Structure formats: C-alpha cells, structure tokens
Amino acid sequence: MQGRAEIEPPSLLTILREWGRIGCIGFGGPPAHMTLLRDLCVRDRRWLTREQFEHALAATNMLPGPASTQLAIYCAWRLRGTRGALIGGLCFICPGLAAMIALSALFLSGSPPDWLRGAAMGAGAAVAAVAVRAGTDLAAPIWHAAAGPRRVRVAVYASIGAVAAATLGAWLVLVLLGAGAVELAAERGGSRPGLASLAPAGGWSLHPLAREWGLMPALAAALADPGGTGALAWTALKVGALAFGGGFVIVPLMQADAVSTYHWMTHAQFLNAVALGQLTPGPVTQTVAAVGYAAGGVGDALLASAIAFAPSFSFILLGGERFERLLSNSAVRAFLAGAAPAAAGAIVGSAIPLASAISESWQYVLLGAAALSLLVARRGVLATLVGCACAGALASVVGAPIVH
C-alpha cells in the first residue's frame, strides 16, 4: 500500500476514545460504520489517505466475517500496530456487545412487561424483510459486476444458497464453501497462484481456518459434546470465520444451530435476538452473544463473542501487510466470486424460516409494512425496526396476544 499520510499518528488513548465513540453511536450497520471510520480517519484527522482507506475497504469486503469490524481493526492497526488494533477493535465491539448481553438477560431470563415483549415481537416481525433487503443489497453489485456466462453461474450460486438457507439449516456452510470451490475450479483454467501464496512463512499454508482458528478441533468438540460448550464454540466459529458476504450471513448460519439442532432458543427468541442485533450499535455479529447467553448465561455469551470475533483480529494481525496481495490474488478472488453470491442468496433464503417463526397474526401485518418500507420505499433498516417495535408495544397495550 502507499505510505501513511504525513500526519502525526494518534495516541493509544485517542484510539480508545474515538473507536469507543464509534462503537457507541454506530447504529445502522456496516454502511454507517464505514462512513464514521472514513470521516474520522480520512476527512477529519487525515490519519489515512483516501487511497489507503479504499484499499482497506476493498480487502476487508473480500474477507469472510464482519467487514466493518475488520475495517475498524485494520484502521487502528495502520495507525498504532498490534496494540492499536486490539484497543481499537475491542472499543468498537464492546459497547454494542454489552448492550446485547444486557438485553439478552432482560428478554431471555427476566420477566419484562408486556409492552416490552410486544416491542420485541414487533421488531422481530420485521426481521424477514430486513433479510431480503440485506441479501438484495449484497447481490446487486455482484450481479452488475458479472458479465456473460458468469452471470449464469452467479444466478445458480445465489439460487442454491437461497434454497440451502431455507431447507438445509446447519449444512449451509458446506454450500457456501462448495460454491467458492466450484467457482475457483471454473476460473483457474490452469496453474495460477493459489491461496498458499498469501500464507506467512512457516504459517498456515492452504488451511488457515483449520490451523489458526482451530476449526477442526472445534468441530470435534461439538461432535463429542452435543449441545454443550463445544457445540457453542463450533457455532460461533462458523459465524466469525465462514460468513462470506458480511454480517447478516450469520443469521441462517446461527438459526439452525440455536433453534432446531441444540434448542438453546425458541423461534420467537431468535427473532428477537436478530432484531436486537440490528437495534444495538456495532456489528450485527454480536447477535451471537444472545445465542451464547441462551445456551449458558453471561459466561457463554462472552465465550461465543470471543470466538466469533477472533478471526477478524487474526485476519488483520496475521495478514494486514498482505492486503495488496489479497486484492490481486486470483485464487482468493475466484473463491469469493462463488461464495459471495451464494451468501447473498442464503441471506434472502433465510427470510423463509424467519417468517415462519412468526407466531401471531398481527405480526404478519407488521412484516408486510416492513417489506413496503424496506423494499419499496427504501427506508432505513433502523428506522423501520424502531417503527415496528413501537407498533408492537402499542399492539400489546390494546390487547393483542403476546408470547410469554
């Protein structure tokens, strides 16, 4: 990358303050986070050049996992190295994570009043529409960037991802990996630089997930301890390391494990957790904390969060200096060219099980209103969820049935 802008780098205390501020006010998902980081690092403080920021944005969007979280970690790493990355990343994540755990305690183990339950049910009713909006927003640039025969493959990958999210549950991750592998095989057409060319010397070779993040040990632990800590660790690892296409891909990845396979949550509780993940500041990946809380309380919520966010820190700390090579590596680009449309389709397909989790007829009315707001009027996700939450609270006050 180009050299750092000729501006005095910030102190660690400044990174703590500024990244913590973004973590507290970062409502609205990745677009809001990226705008806040751009304004801080490029426009206001000029710590990074526009080119440096755009390169970082491109690279983090190619990585699996929450792109805005990885961008926050990377910007802090560029400015103050490993300590900056750790402080900046944790300050970006922790405010929303604390809010998520507190709300999980309120909704999953406490006895909130009916109006608050109604508000959660109202916001939860809109989640299926949010999934469709997130998936189509992700799919649009992928479709426009494709041309000729590749558009056919993009459509096939997206369709398979949608069907898998609606029907296969926990096996969705294999579909995402398979789509990437098929596109890699289709695009290589000969000997080209592979994924191993990005590995650090003596490092992770062709299997970074298995070696750096303990993917295979976590899977073995999940199989040996069904429904226990090993299973939670495996679910969280899938969320953090295999969510190609951005944060919302975690929804279909988590839903089957949390509700159907291990029964940590009911369908209604999972809907509420996804809605809370959208309503709290910070990355939507922190929804995994609600799953962890349902599985075993605060300790498991923190464990699940640590496992889910560890790959984001690992990507930057192990590979930040290789981002330029990542952008030009043909194997990486080809793999993600298959995995990304499959992930977009999976997000859209997740709307089916999310909508089927709705339990009361009045929630379908709110789902329809949310669909009109998000897909027709193109209103913001946060405003739509808040509106549905208010409508749900009002519905409970006038006597609408509430799930207890």
Q: What is the C-alpha to C-alpha distance for residues 64 and 23, in angstroms, rounded to an integer? A: 21
User: Token pair 């027709």 is at which residue?
Assistant: 376
User: Token pair 């558009």 is at which residue?
Assistant: 151
User: Token pair 């946060």 is at which residue?
Assistant: 382
Which of 48, 73, 94 is the last residue before a domain boundary?
Answer: 94
If asked whether residues 344 and 293 sit together in one domain, one would say yes
pLDDT at 175: 86
If asked whether residues 297 and 366 sit together in one domain, one would say yes
For 137-166, the pLDDT digits (tens) are: 878 888 888 887 788 888 999 999 899 888
What mean pLDDT do residues 309-333 have? 82
* Residue 3 included in any domain: no
Distances (CA, A) of 44 to 35, 48, 55, 244, 277: 12, 10, 19, 31, 29
If asked whether residues 102 and 70 sit together in one domain, one would say no
Which of 77, 94, 111 is the last residue before a domain boundary?
Answer: 94
* Residue 202 included in any domain: yes
Number of folded domains that form the chain: 2
pLDDT at 247: 63
* Residue 2 included in any domain: no
If asked whether residues 291 and 386 sit together in one domain, one would say yes
pLDDT at 356: 86
Q: What is the C-alpha to C-alpha distance for residues 291 and 235, in angstroms, rounded to an integer? A: 9
* Residue 19 included in any domain: yes
The tally of CA atoms less than 13 A away on the side-chain side of residue 285 is 35
pLDDT at 340: 81
pLDDT at 200: 42
Backbone angles phi, psi at 319, to 5 degrees: -130, 10
pLDDT at 47: 94
* Residue 1 included in any domain: no
If asked whether residues 31 and 84 sit together in one domain, one would say yes
The H or E element containing residue 259 is: none
Q: What is the C-alpha to C-alpha distance for residues 343 and 361, in angstroms, rounded to an integer? A: 30
* Residue 403 included in any domain: no
If asked whether residues 247 and 160 sit together in one domain, one would say yes
DSSP string, 270-327: HHHHHHHHHHSSS-GGGGHHHHHHHHHSHHHHHHHHHHHHHHHHHHHHHHGGGHHHHH
Q: What is the mean pLDDT of the chain?
A: 82
Count of C-beta atoms within a 10 Å radius of residue 216: 12
Q: Which of 123-137, 138-152, 302-316 has the highest mean pLDDT?
A: 302-316
If asked whether residues 101 and 157 sit together in one domain, one would say yes
What mean pLDDT do residues 82-96 have? 96
If asked whether residues 257 and 284 sit together in one domain, one would say yes
For 343-396, the pLDDT digits (tens) are: 888 888 888 888 888 889 999 999 999 999 999 999 888 889 899 999 999 999
For 222-279, the pLDDT digits (tens) are: 455 566 888 999 999 988 887 765 667 778 878 888 998 899 998 888 988 888 888 8
Q: What is the C-alpha to C-alpha distance for residues 84 and 53, in angstroms, rounded to an integer? A: 16
Q: What is the C-alpha to C-alpha distance for residues 370 and 382, in angstroms, rounded to an integer? A: 11
Which of 94, 114, 147 is the last residue before a domain boundary?
Answer: 94
Q: Encoding tokens for residue 302?
A: 């923190």
Q: Which of 57-66, 294-303, 310-319, 373-382 has the highest mean pLDDT?
A: 294-303
Q: Among 31-35, 119-123, 302-306, which is the least confidently predicted range?
A: 31-35
pLDDT at 209: 40
pLDDT at 245: 59
If asked whether residues 41 and 142 sit together in one domain, one would say no
If asked whether residues 31 and 105 sit together in one domain, one would say no
pLDDT at 117: 84
Count of C-beta atoms within a 10 Å radius of residue 11: 12
pLDDT at 193: 43
> One-letter amino acid identity for 5?
A
* Residue 5 included in any domain: no
First to last CA, the chain: 54
Q: Which residue has the higher pLDDT, 72 or 117?
A: 72
For 161-210, the pLDDT digits (tens) are: 899 888 876 677 788 888 888 888 887 764 444 444 444 433 333 334 44
Classify 186 as helix, strand or coil.
Answer: helix
pLDDT at 170: 62
The H or E element containing residue 93 is: helix 67-104
If asked whether residues 150 and 59 sit together in one domain, one would say no
If asked whether residues 261 and 217 sit together in one domain, one would say yes
Distances (CA, A) of 380 to 28, 127, 187, 278, 312: 8, 13, 37, 11, 27
* Residue 51 included in any domain: yes
82: containing domain: 12-94
pLDDT at 226: 61
Q: What is the C-alpha to C-alpha distance for residues 99 and 121, in angstroms, rounded to an integer? A: 18
